[in-house]
Chain A
Amino acid sequence: MTHPEASVATTAAAPALLRIQDLHKAFQTVEVLKGVDVTLARGDVVTIIGSSGSGKTTLLRCVNLLEEFQRGRIEIDGQAIGYREQGGRRVPCTGAEVARHRALTGMAFQQFNLFPHLTALRNVTLGLIKVRKLARDEAVAIAEKWLDRVGMLERRNHYPGQLSGGQQQRVAIARAVAMTPRLMLFDEVTSALDPELVNEVLSVVQGLAQDGMTMLLVTHEMRFAYEVSDRIIFMNQGRIEEEGPPADLFNQPKSLRLKEFLKTIKI
């Protein structure tokens, strides 16, 4: 996939698809992110691990602009999102701009969040028709391709309430990737699933990773993180504590915190 505008905006020294610099985020007085820097090249699969409250989900939500952030900068293909400089001041982008920025990323949620009044197919076509402005048949063709990809084509006319958690999550992933985002964010996509349904979802995510989709994940499935990721980021109290290839992080953790964290969870 090529992004013509990206080649213009990106300088030669910065081939990053996602660049997060010095991200600070506070909920009222509680600082949740205390200066986070993350860079993803195209095709990178990066997993964020850490105990609850470490800020990993908030980080994902900032990238999708579901959360405001007070300081720092997030760029996708060299384009700053969410905020712009105006006369030396940082101002939030307008609603329409933010909607455009959000469309650059796709997100899958822990709770699936499928639209309950629409069939699986129409969950996927809604964005294609309303945001991408495609004609209905075109949207249906794309949606069917992706539903097939996640193994849900046969159930395209089912409503979310008629699907299992794993099936709903697969439809939710199809809904996100059908919009051809440059970056996919997966926020604990298997945490709300019964254990026997986890693998069907993970194999869909793994398939997308193998196809070269750039992704940033938050997961508690350490074995999966180990297998699928190019890099692991360990977050602790709003900061990145350690970062590196999965083999290094899991087998030779440097920081005490990571050692403790790995001890509490069993791989």
Chain B
Amino acid sequence: MTYHFDFAVVWRHENLLLSGLGLGLVLALVSILIGCIIGLAAAFGVLSRHRIFRIIATVYVTTIRNTPILVLILLTYFALPELGLRLGKIQSFIITLSVYAGAYLTEVFRAGLVAIPRGLREAGLAIGLTEGQIRRSVIIPVMIRNVLPSLGNNFISLFKDTSLAAAIAVPELTFYARKINVESFRVIETWMVASLMYVVACLIISTALRFVERRLAIIR
């Protein structure tokens, strides 16, 4: 069997592929930022003294983590409009991915908060800081620095999950690859190019993240 590779047919659409990749990165970035806010709130919820907050946070985390993300994407996109909430494809996907990220980050943040020595809070109290000030100026900054590596892994994971947005026709990389594939019949080349683009992007992101981690790491 001889197969003549012709990557030019695929790479002719480089602007589409690159714009798709760019959108994927933006989707992941926006979602992890929103997800961090949700995850932080839920992590404090899980650790709360009040039973009601613990229950709400635990139900959220358990439900989301045990539902396949594709199902969540379809549920948000097709079910919410039925309930009268009309959203664009991109907004709908960002909501899903943020809520999804939040559930995973809750566990990351919870572990990070538990690992903070009790003495830091007491030192803050002793100089007259309020609980809120301690949380903002001490607990959260120290915790975020400690969990930075897992935050980075979560980001890469989320970036790869953006490929599922193709299911609701969000024009990201996988969506365009599928389109090019259908038009060119170059199955192998198309998906090789798409895969390679994901790999390269992930490598660049993880290198960048390691750089950030080193800059922000707590010196020990």
Contact = CB atoms under 8 A, between A and B. Distances in A.
B127 A95 contact: no
B120 A113 contact: yes
B138 interface: yes
Nearest to B130: A99
Contacts of A8: none
Contact of B142 (A66, A115, A127): A115
A102 B218 contact: no
Contacts of B219: 159, 161-162
Interface string B9-49: 00000000000000000000000000000000000000000
Given A114-B123, A115-B123, A127 B128 contact: yes
Interface residues of A, number: 30
Contact of B131 (A64, A95, A111, A179): A95
Interface size grouping (class) on chain B: 20 to 34
A99 B218 contact: no
Q: Is the interface of B mostly helix, strand, loop or mixed?
A: helix
Interface in B181-220: 218-220
A176 B129 CA distance: 12
B123 A113 contact: yes
A130 interface: yes
B220 A103 contact: no
B117 interface: yes
A244 interface: no
Contacts of A162: 219
B112 to A, nearest CB: 13
A175 B123 CA distance: 10
B206 to A, nearest CB: 23
A102 B131 CA distance: 13
B71 interface: no
A117 B142 contact: yes
A117 B123 CA distance: 14
B133 interface: yes
A116 B142 contact: yes
B130 A117 contact: no
B130 to A, nearest CB: 5
Contacts of B142: 115-117
Interface string A116-160: 110000000011001100000000000000000000000000010
Contacts of A99: 125, 128-130
Given A117-B141, A117-B218, A161-B218, A131 B128 contact: yes
A159 B145 CA distance: 14
Interface in A170-203: 172, 175-176, 179
Interface string B83-106: 000000000000000000000000
B1 interface: no
B8 interface: no
B130 A95 contact: yes
A115 B127 CA distance: 12
B129 A106 contact: no
Contacts of A106: 126-127
Contacts of A65: 125
B145 to A, nearest CB: 6
B122 A113 contact: yes
B120 A115 contact: yes
A96 interface: yes
B120 A179 contact: no
Contact of A111 (B119, B128, B133): B119
Interface in A79-128: 95-96, 99-100, 102-103, 105-107, 109, 111, 113-117, 126-127
B125 A130 contact: no
Contact of A66 (B117, B125, B138): B125
7 contacts: A102-B128, A111-B119, A113-B119, A115-B120, A117-B218, A127-B127, A130-B129
Given A64-B126, A66-B125, A100-B128, 20 more contacts: A65-B125, A66-B126, A95-B131, A102-B125, A102-B127, A102-B128, A105-B126, A109-B119, A109-B122, A113-B117, A115-B138, A116-B220, A117-B142, A126-B137, A127-B127, A127-B129, A162-B219, A175-B127, A176-B127, A179-B128
